[in-house]
Structures are given as C-alpha cells and as structure tokens.
Chain A
Amino acid sequence: MTKVEVKVCLGTTCFVMGGSNLQELNEIIPQKYGDKVELSAANCLGLCSINWEYSKAPYVKVNEEVVSEATAEKVLEEIERQLAKQ
C-alpha cells in the first residue's frame, strides 16, 4: 500500500491567510493514521501565484488533489477520500 502524501504549504501567503492553524495536523495525522500518511511542510507550492489566487490560500496538497482554503477538517476529509481509493 502506498502512503498518502500530505504537503502543507508554508509559504508566506498560506501562512498569513490561515496556514498557521494547520500545524495541529502535525499531531493529529501521526496519531490517527500512523505511517499510512506522510505529512511534510512545503516551502510555497506555487499555487497562490497562479492568477495570483491568494484569496483561496492556505493550500494543502493531498496526493495530487489540491485543498484550497484549507482547514484541518477539510484536509482530513481528503485524506479519507484518498485512503478509500486504495
């Protein structure tokens, strides 16, 4: 089984627009999914610069899916969806 990859953007825009709140995922994800999900921080995924879409920040990538206006709940939902696919 391949791991689900979660990349949280730590670029300035995402951090300022609410990404700082996503740090709770650092505790939730290992606890809930163990090594089934790999969480990493990314230095700007470049998503805010496409049409300069800062208003949809913060962004998180779960495998190839982009979660915009990300909250911990939204990210966890997407993880469930990706796990169900496997």
Chain B
Amino acid sequence: MNNLGQAIHIKKEILVRIIKAFLSDDFEHQTRLIPYDMRPKGMEVPYRCCVYKERAIIKDRTIAGLGFPIEEDDERVSLSDYAKQALERTQVSEKNLTVLQTACKGCATNRIYVTDLCQGCVARPCQSTCKFGAISIVNGRSVIDDAKCKKCQMCISACPYKAIVKISVPCEDSCPVGAIKKDETGFASIDYDKCINCGRCTAACPFGAVHERSQIIDILKAMKSDKKVVAMIAPSIMGQFPGNIYQLKTAIINSGFDDVYEVAQGADITANTEAKEFTERMENGQNFMTTSCCAGYNQLIKKHLPEIKPFVSDTKTPLYYTAEIVKKEHPDAITVFVSPCVAKRAEGFENPNVDFVMNYEELGALFVAKKIQILDLEESKYIVESSKQGRNFGYSGGVAESVKKSLKDEDAVKPCIINGLNKDSIKQLKKYATNGVCEGCNLVEVMCCEGGCIGGNATINNQKTAKKLIDNFTQNSEDISKI
C-alpha cells in the first residue's frame, strides 16, 4: 500500500467520478466536467499555483483513469472526446503505466550534495574517504564533481557535521531496474523495455505523477453488454475491504458482476503442481527451484534475469488456472481479474483467458460510486472453497508454505524467501543462477513487493492489519492436504 495520503485520495476520487459519469445519462459531458467539479470557481487552491493548473492536472489524471497514455495527450482534445474514444475502444494497451508530466515536479537531480552546513574543517574526512577523487575544496568548502561522483555515499557517513546529503528522486530510487528516469526535459519518463510493472513508482511519487492506465470503462462496458462478466479475486483481497470474503462476493455481484471466483482456487492447483515439480527437479539433481507466481518477478526474468530461467518452476500462476476454469465453465464470459498490483495487468494482457484487470482501488471506487455497504450484506458462498494455504498465497512466505504442505515429506523443503525485489535481492538471485546453488535452501519464493501481494501498489489496507485479518479468517479454512 502506498502512504501518499492526499495524492492517492485524489486518484480514487477521480475514479469514483469517472464511474459515476459512466452511470449517468451523459457520460461524455459529465466526464468533461470532472476537473471543474473537483476544483470549482472560488475554491481555495489546495496544492498548486492556481486553480487552472489544478484542473489541468486533474484532466490528465482523468485521461489515465479513462485508460489513455498522458504522454501522447494532445491538449486540444477535450475530456468528452476521450470519454467517447474510451467507449469506442475494443482493445486495451499492453503499456500499463503513464506519467503525468504536468504533475511531475521534475525533482532536483539525484546526486550527492554538500550543503551550507559544511564547516570547511581541517580534517576533511570527506575528501580522504572518497575513492574517486570527486571532492575538492573551493573557497574553504567541499565541492563534489558530479562527473566523478559514483554516489557511493561514503562521504555522507564520513562527515562529522552531517553536512553532505543525498538528493533523492523518489521514483528513480524506488525502481529496482532503473526503468524510470528524468528525461532530457527534466521530467520522469518510463522505459517500457526495462519496466517490470512492479508499480513501485506509482506508490513512491509524492506528487502522484505516475498512474496506472485503468480499464474500468472497458469493464463497465462489458457489464452493460449481454455477456456474463466474472470477477476473479486475488487471495490478497481478504482484509482489503470491510466484512468477510462471502459478503465481498455479494458486494461484487451487486456492483455489476455476474459471478465471483476466488483465485485461491487456482492457488491450490499451483501449490500441488509446484510441489510435484519440486520433487522431480530435486530427484533430477537440481539444487534449487524458484516459484513462478509473481507477475513482477516473471517480467524481471524475461527482461533482466534470463539466466535464472532454468531454475524457475514451469508451474502456471493461480490466475492462469482460475481463468482456465472460469472459461471452461462459462465459455462466453468476460473475465476480470481483481488485482493488488499493476504487474498482473501485464500477465492478464498476455493470457487470452483474462480479458480485463482491475485493481483494489478501482473495485473500491466502484463500491463507492454504487453506494455499496459491504457490512450490511448477506454472505454468498463460493462454489469451490479454497484451502487455508491457497488463501495465504498473498503474503510473503505463504507460497513456500503451501508447497511444503502439499508434499508428503514436508521436511524436504528448505525455503529461502525473497521478500521484495530490489537491487540487492536481484543481485542475490543472479548469484544463485550463476552458481546454480542457493546456500542451504532448495525452494526460493520470490515476491516482487515487500510483504508479498498485500504490499502491492494498489492495496487499500496497511500490511500489518491485512495480514492479521487474513490469518484470522484462514485459520478456519481447510488444510490443503485435505482438498
């Protein structure tokens, strides 16, 4: 979950307004009015220089909410035209993120900087500690030569006055693969060849300048059609809304879906299949195997870490199996995966059985727009009840545990948990791949987000509470060995 307070509040409010506009008699006109309704004449300007800039930024955010890339925006096109185009569109894009350069602050460049606190001391520990000769003394004060500085930050820890600071660009710092950078204009832009869709940048930017391109209009259109629309809810959804997952099923149906499946159902298949595969691989003399259910990790393998491929389980993701079941049981249905993160949008795009993806924030916005009170609703049962372990797939350690519990000999598994992809853990995985060994372990569980899916970029609840709510609920679920 991101901790961006008002920035995330605005994003959600815009989603609610877009949905409300769609449900009104005049979608195009109501969409055009969103910036004016949110920032009416005479209102105190909350964040930017003036009401006009506020509205311009809200317009751009609305464009992302309608599913379009803001980078390609022709300013002369009005929101009503975008709304019309969204209605006419028949396909969604594979690019899932978009940067609002209007909202991007164009933060000061990521660098190491000597502040006025520098006392020009005699010892000069910064200069002697720098291995790259990047620090010189000018007018009795330390100055860093950016061309030579490797940003090792040794000088920062060496300075007794704490006079040297690292200037951060939050989106760049958050990206584990260097895919988002300030371009020649000074504003952030995404290199899609490198991007693994982890969504960290959306949660990191304090200006809320990185948006997911929503498919909410496409989903609302599907609901309006004659076709059946089936929601597939990720295990991590438990604890993201008030009430239990049975009331949640009723809420989702009341919001316009025809049926709801737990992806935990597919997680049970993933766990059992992966357990069999694990035994086979160990018998064939392989030293370790990594899990394969995290979409962000799968993108990392494809784009940055191909050497680990031989060690990655060939077992499909819980979403894959669930979508296969749904399409078999309802061949004409439109399937929507309800996701904690943006990475699953990429997986959904590649899987023909998954038609659309919506995240928890968007589902929440749909509930708000339709005034659904989950706690007041009756419970609806699922046709297939999932196991405790399948339902625990959404937090770090849950997947390894489910594989373990699916095996006859539980002690055969020695798990290693990669709790979040970052520069260090990627290096660690690279080492395992190159050496073909993972010291002392044989099953590597990889989750792109810290904490697992409950730490996804589009989650609503904080991790600690969410995990507690999942554990409280699943302690009464059936063990996987009995399913």
Contact = CB atoms under 8 A, between A and B. Distances in A.
Interface of A: 10-13, 15-18, 20-21, 23-24, 43-44, 49, 54-55, 57, 69, 71
A12 B372 contact: yes
A20 B461 contact: yes
A20 B243 CA distance: 13
B465 interface: yes
Contact of B368 (A13, A20, A23, A43): A13
A47 B374 CA distance: 16
Given A15-B364, A20-B462, 12 more contacts: A11-B375, A16-B12, A16-B368, A17-B368, A20-B240, A20-B460, A23-B461, A23-B465, A44-B376, A54-B368, A57-B368, A69-B9
B106 interface: no
B9 A18 contact: yes
A26 to B, nearest CB: 9
B462 A10 contact: no
Contacts of A69: 9
Nearest to B5: A71
Interface residues on B, range: 20 to 34
Given A10-B375, A43-B375, A54-B16, A16 B460 contact: yes
Contacts of A55: 13, 16, 38
B5 A12 contact: no
B180 interface: no
A16 B241 contact: yes
Contact of A12 (B8, B9, B367, B461): B367
Contact of B375 (A17, A21, A44): A44
The binding surface of chain B is classed by DSSP as: helix
Nearest to B3: A21
8 contacts: A12-B251, A12-B372, A15-B242, A16-B364, A44-B373, A54-B13, A55-B13, A71-B5
A12 B462 CA distance: 16
B126 interface: no
A10 B5 contact: no
Contacts of B188: none
A55 B40 CA distance: 14
A38 B371 CA distance: 29
B338 interface: no
B408 to A, nearest CB: 40
Given A11-B242, A12-B367, A23-B462, A17 B373 contact: no
Contacts of B38: 55
Contact of B241 (A12, A17, A18, A44): A12
Closest 6 CB pairs of A and B: A16-B364, A20-B461, A13-B368, A12-B367, A43-B375, A55-B13
Contacts of A44: 373, 375-376
A12 B374 contact: yes
B367 A11 contact: no
Contact of B242 (A10, A17, A24): A10
